[in-house]
Amino acid sequence: MNFHAFKPPDNEEPVFSHIPVLPQQVIVGLAVRPGGHYLDATVGGGGHSRLILAAAPDTRITALDQDEEALAAARRELAEFGERVQFIHTNFAAYQFACSTFDGIIADLGVSSYHLDRPERGFSFRHAASLDMRMNKQQSLTAADVINNWDEAELADIFFAYGEERFSRRIAKRIVEQRPFDTTTELAQAIASSVPPQYRYGRIHPATRVFQALRIVVNDELKSLEIFIQKAPHALVLGGRIAIISFHSLEDRIVKHGLRNSPLLQVLTKKPITASEEEINTNPRSRSAKLRIAQRVK
Ligand SMILES: C[S@@+](CC[C@H](N)C(=O)[O-])C[C@H]1O[C@@H](n2cnc3c(N)ncnc32)[C@H](O)[C@@H]1O
- Torsion angles phi and psi, residue 97, rounded to 5: -75, 120
Average the pLDDT over 29-47 and give the result. Answer: 97
Q: Is-contact 271 240, C-beta < 8 A?
A: no
In the chain, the amino acid numbered 47 is: G
Who wins on pLDDT, 85 or 199? 85
| C-alpha pair distances (Å), 232 with each of 46, 74, 129, 208 | 20, 22, 36, 31
pLDDT at 113: 76
Q: Is the pLDDT of residue 107 over 60?
A: yes
Report whether residue 45 contacts ligand 1, using a CB cutoff of 6 Å.
Answer: yes
Q: Is pLDDT of 39 > 60?
A: yes
Confidence band, pLDDT 50/70/90 cuts, at residue 130? very high
- Give CA separation, 49 vs 52, 283, 288, in Å: 5, 18, 21
Q: What is the pLDDT of residues 148-198, one digit of tens each?
A: 999 999 999 999 999 999 999 999 999 999 999 999 999 999 999 999 887
From 66, 221, 250, give the residue whose CB has the most ligand 1 atoms within 8 Å, as the site to mutate.
66
Q: How confident is the model at residue 6 (pLDDT cuts 50, 70, 90)?
A: very low
Report how far Cα 5 is from the mean position of its chain's Cα atoms: 18
64 CB near ligand 1 (under 6 Å): yes
24 residue type, one letter: Q
Flag whether pLDDT at 275 surpasses 50: yes
20 close to ligand 1 (CB < 6 Angstrom): yes
CA–centroid distance, residue 124 to ligand 1 (Å)? 17
Using alpha carbons only, give the angle 72, 77, 82 rounded to the nearest 5 degrees.
95
